[in-house]
A and B are shown apart, each in its own frame.
Chain A
Amino acid sequence: DTGVSQDPRHKITKRGQNVTFRCDPISEHNRLYWYRQTLGQGPEFLTYFQNEAQLEKSRLLSDRFSAERPKGSFSTLEIQRTEQGDSAMYLCASRDSLQYTQYFGPGTRLTVL
């Protein structure tokens, strides 16, 4: 059973550029979450998918952020016009419909210069 995978693991970009991250959940997990973690803080919830439907978005998810899960499998998180304040670890987690335990990927560390 492979775990949650995320790509890339690290991303350095210049302010104003767009970036996209990918998350592949555990197979057959139909629930998928994105979190953001800044230095010294615990992860903060960004958004939640049940299959391909995005059912909840945090207020942290500004209009520069968009997440998709087109076929109910992998998900992408795009940040447009990145700002230095977007520098953080972006974490993806998944679970199945019967259990509430979430399993996390290794994260994508974004640095905006």
Chain B
Amino acid sequence: NAGVTQTPKFQVLKTGQSMTLQCAQDMNHEYMSWYRQDPGMGLRLIHYSVGAGITDQGEVPNGYNVSRSTTEDFPLRLLSAAPSQTSVYFCASSYSGGSEQFFGPGTRLTVL
């Protein structure tokens, strides 16, 4: 099992550009989520999904879109990048909402 994979590992964007962060898991997990990690603020939930076709907003959803067309994939789209979105982004998955989450290696995004 590859577990949770994220691409790219690093990305630099200019303000206003759009991009998609990819996340995939091969564990047949129903629950997937996206977090951003900023110094002194821990991890904050952006969006999450409890199954294919079902998504919901987390704590900091503005400026981000998600979709879940398959169980395996949960891409995060930045519509118009802003410097405030400079962060490290983690994708995670779990078998259910009550089980432990498996985290990907992260994507370090810089918006200039």
Q: Is chain B found bound to chain A in the same assembly?
A: no
Q: Which residues of A contact B (CB under 8 A)?
A: none
